[in-house]
Amino acid sequence: MSGAVRDASHVWRRLSVSSRIRTYRRYDYVLVAASLCLSLLGAVLVWSSTRVSAGNSGDPLTFFKKHLINLLIGLVLCLIASRISHRLVRAYAPILYLLSVAGLLAVLTGLGVTNNGAQSWIQVSGFTLQPSEFVKIAIIVICATLLAEKRDAENRPANIMILISLLVAAVPVLLILAQPDLGTVLMILSTLLAIIAISGVSKWWLIGLVGSAVASVFLVFGLGLLAQHQIDRFTAFLNPNADPLGVSYNVNQAEIAIGSGGLFGNGLFQGTQTAGQFVPEQRTDFIFSVAGEELGFFGSSMILLLLLLIVWRLMAIANRAEDLFGRLVAIGVASWIGFQSFQNIGMNLELLPVTGVPLPFVSLGGSSMMALWIGIGVILNLDATKSNRQG
First to last CA, the chain: 35
Question: Cis link prior to 180 (omega < 30° from 0)?
Answer: yes
In angstroms, rounded to a whole number, what is the distance separating the alpha carbons of residues 138 and 77? 15
Confidence of residue 383 (pLDDT cuts 50, 70, 90): confident
| Residue percentage of the chain with pLDDT more than 90 | 40
In angstroms, rounded to a whole number, what is the distance separating the alpha carbons of residues 170 and 176? 10
pLDDT of residue 380: 92
Specify which of 113-127, 144-158, 323-337 reaches the highest per-range mean pLDDT.
323-337
What angle (nearest 5°) sits at the alpha carbon of residue 383, between those of residues 26 and 327?
165
pTM above 0.85, yes or no: yes
pLDDT of residue 148: 87
Specify which of 31-45, 58-72, 153-167, 270-284 reaches the highest per-range mean pLDDT.
31-45
Report the range of poorest mean pLDDT among 19-28, 138-147, 261-270: 19-28
Annotated domain spans of the chain: 43-386
In terms of DSSP H, where are the helices of 57-158?
Answer: 62-82, 86-91, 93-107, 131-147
pLDDT of residue 236: 64
Average pLDDT rounded to a whole number, residues 296-318: 95
- What is the CB neighbour count within 10 angstroms for residue 263? 9
Instruction: List the one residue out of 284, 271, 288, 277 whose CA is nearest residue 55.
Output: 277
Residues 85-124 as b/e (b if ≥16 CB within 10 A, e otherwise) read: ebeebbeebeebbeebbebbbebeeeebeeeebbbbbbee
- What is the CB neighbour count within 10 angstroms for residue 345? 19
pLDDT in tens, 81-127: 998 888 888 888 999 999 999 989 988 887 777 776 677 878 766 67
pLDDT of residue 371: 95
pLDDT of residue 245: 58
Report the range of poorest mean pLDDT among 40-49, 57-66, 377-386: 377-386
Calculate the average pLDDT of the chain: 83
Instruction: List the one residue out of 234, 251, 257 whose CA is nearest residue 183.
Output: 234
pLDDT of residue 291: 93
pLDDT of residue 386: 56
Q: Helix, strand or coil for residue 56?
A: helix
Confidence of residue 170 (pLDDT cuts 50, 70, 90): very high
Q: Dihedral sign for Cα 290, 295, 301, 304, please.
A: negative
pLDDT in tens, 235-245: 666 666 665 65
